[in-house]
Structure 1
Amino acid sequence: MKLKAVLIDENQDLYVDYVEDLCPKENELLVKVKATAINRADLLQRKGNYPPPAGESTILGLEMSGVVEKVGSNVIEWKEGDRVYALLAGGGYAEEVVIPADMAMKLPDTMSFEQAAAIPEAFLTAYLNLVELGGLTSGEHALIHAAASGVGTAAIQIARELGATSIVTAGSLEKLNRCLSLGANYAINYKEENFAEKVQEITNNSGVDLILDFIGASYWEANIESIGLDGRWVFVGSLGGREVSSMNLGPFLQKRLHFIGSTLRSRTNPYKIALTRKFEAFAKEKFIQGTLTPVIDRVYDWHNVMEAHSYMDRNLNIGKIVLKID
């Protein structure tokens, strides 16, 4: 055993130790990981609350960038030495990872490994929920909660590129200003203002066409007030709880609402590959030109992974927290 990875001890602390070596199958790549990034799913999994899908790596890490070390016997589009980045179902907190060859995206020459590692989970999640599920189009209004998060900062940029108007919520002036700098049209401090009232003011009482909701229960009533006729409400996280104590279903009929639950990690590999290809077609040139850009708050050495998790746990980050692998 010569491969190192981040493991979880009995106290839910993280440490680096040796694990079994990996070998790619005929349609896979073995990638030397240069950087990965932290997601809230990692924090949940560390605490025993979000197990990986059956058959996937139990090692944390839902995205990575690196260099191809070995190619499977059926792989023709990649070669050793290619710089790639990809979405993962797990395994990113390690020196090496095995991925389906069709899942890999080519790293632009102008982009660092740290920048690339901050893209897959955030941007693919945002693209899935705004475009594929949410059907956001030019001229529509989107309400984006937790807008200073990795997915939030990606969603702001995608909405801007689609020609939509984004209304975002965050909890500090620094976060709101960063969101505005990325192209958000309106920014609301949810700690100081009633965002539903502000949304109605901004939309002339029409409400938004789409809500990207990471919060859940605590925003339930305000979201119902904020959404307009035929609105799409895409539920992707429950930072504010999962149980709504009292629910009036009337507005769902009156407004003809679409409530869509969404997760990405548990999707099949063919689905993720198809999503990756659609996203790459949408975003590749935009990353090269700089119209889309990953937002990185901090880069940690992976030996300081517990410090990085603590930083995210305190909700201090604007954008992504990246781990640099030795």
Structure 2
Amino acid sequence: MKAIKVDYSGDSAQMSWGNVPYPHPTADGQVLIRVKAAGVNRPDILQRDRQYAPPADATSILGLEVAGIVEQVFGESRWRPGDEVCALTHGGGYAEYVWVDHRHCLPKPEGWSFVEAASLPETYFTVWFNVFMQGELGRNSKETLLVHAGASGIGVAAIQIAKALGHRVIITARKENQLKVCQDIGADAAILLDEEWTKQVQSLRGSVDVILDMLGESTLLGNIKVLGKAGRLVWIAFLTGTKVVLPIPHIMEKQIRLTGSFLRPQSFDVKANIASGLLEHVWPKISQGKIKPIIEKTFSIQDVHQAHAWLEKGGHVGKIVLTL
């Protein structure tokens, strides 16, 4: 089959579309997907640049989410050949075919294209695990979620899921045009991420219950300031740095919980539980039209270097997707 190959022989990694060995199942309960579209995510770029090593049991081929058609089933599975699905992969999505744990597949939403469906798995698994399972948004009935980098793929997913489930959402972003788009898709308030952002949040709400943070160092002190009693701060990335000074007395006073995770190293069983939660709580909202696909741009898989460059330059709204 063909897949994106990464050549490390030069000064920088070079990606190209070429022949690679055909994949084989590695465990019972896997399905072979003929890939129609694959989402592009920041971990793909980090792996390309050797800043992020894939798990020892994973393929070296890039790509963490796909949409396509089930071709084969190995062992017991709810899926059958011909089913249209989107799936979280263990790597290998930038290819014509990929084997996936059947429990990590979800039905392609009715009326959605393969491109639109491919924008779902990585971001939706990440949001459900971190905001709802780790951050426990909704444990005290309806709550307020603050999302930094609200226009990113993760950000727009968090906005739509939280709003569909009845919560209030505030986002921050660095560009004015991103603020409007986030409000158009459901954010109750959108704030420019400048030196005054904490005052803006407090003037709107006083305090928030859960924060989803991809920035790290630059927002830590502000996050502690705007979180309310028993608030939860959830990190999923650290784009502005990893070194922080924690104001321990403020954390103790507010009983703030600090948490975070990497999705890819989670066990297959944990990912299966995430998929079950999405199927039960989020997929019905998609069927009701309360969640819409937000696609920034699509590229042919042979133009993968352009897709990566588009993600790296920032300023996008929603997902970037490769088509096969």
Checking the alignment, whether the CA contact within 8 Å between 2:29 and 2:77 is kept in structure 1 is no
Distance 2:249 2:282 in 1: 39
Partner of 1:271 in structure 2?
Answer: 270
Letter in structure 2 aligned against 1:83: E
**Which residue is equivalent to 1:201?**
203
Partner of 2:157: 154
Q: TM-score, normalised by structure 2?
A: 0.95
Contact 2:208 2:226 in 1 (8 A): yes
Q: How does 1:296-307 map to 2 (within 5 A)?
A: 296-307=295-306
For the residues of structure 2 that align with 1:165 and 1:29, how far apart are their CA atoms? 38
User: How far apart are 1:13 and its partner, in Å?
Assistant: 2.1
Q: 1:140 aligns with which of 140, 143, 146?
A: 143
Alpha-carbon distance between aligned partners in 2 of 1:76 and 1:125, rounded to the nearest angstrom: 24
Q: Deviations over 1:203-241 (max 9, x none)?
A: 23xx21111010001111111111111100001110111
1:289 CA displacement: 2.3
Paired AA for residue 225 in structure 1: K
* Unaligned segments of structure 1, at least 5 residues: none
Matched AA of 1:69: E
Indicate which of 47, 50, 62 corresponds to 1:48.
Answer: 50
Corresponding residue number in structure 2 for 1:212: 212
Q: State the match for 1:19 in structure 2.
A: 20
Give the SS at the match of 2:212.
strand
Give the CA deviation at 1:196: 0.9
Q: Which runs of 4+ in 1 moved over 3 A?
A: none
- Match of residue 171 from structure 1: 174
Q: Give the structure 2 partner of residue 223 of structure 1.
A: 223
SS in 2 for 1:8: strand
Contact 1:110 1:288 in 2 (8 A): no
Aligned residues: 318
Q: What letter is aligned with 1:108?
A: P
Q: Distance in 2 between matches of 1:252 and 1:108?
A: 41
Overall identity of the aligned pairs, in %: 36
What are the ranges of 5 or more consecutive residues in structure 2 without an aligned counterpart? Answer: none
Q: Please tell me whether residue 9 in structure 1 is matched to residue 7 in structure 2.
A: yes
What is residue 189 of structure 2 aligned with on the other side? 186
Amino acid at match of 2:80: K
User: Which residue is equivalent to 2:76?
Assistant: 75
* Structure 1 residue 274 displacement after superposition: 1.3
AA at the equivalent of 1:79:
R
Provide, for residues 255-310 of structure 1, a one-character-per-residue CA deviation record: whole Å limited to 9, x for no partner. Answer: 11100021211100111011101111112222222211221000100111001101
Whole-angstrom distance in 2 between the partners of 1:156 and 1:216: 20
Distance apart, 1:75 and its partner CA: 2.5
1:98 aligns with 2:105: no
TM-score normalised by structure 1 residue count: 0.94
Q: Cα deviation per residue 1:121-170 (whole Å; 9 max; x = unaligned)?
A: 11111111121111112432111001001110010011112222111001
Write the deviation string for residues 72-112 of structure 1: whole angstroms up to 9, x where unpaired.
1x235222111111111211101100011222112133111
2-side partners of 1:76 and 1:203: how far apart?
Answer: 46
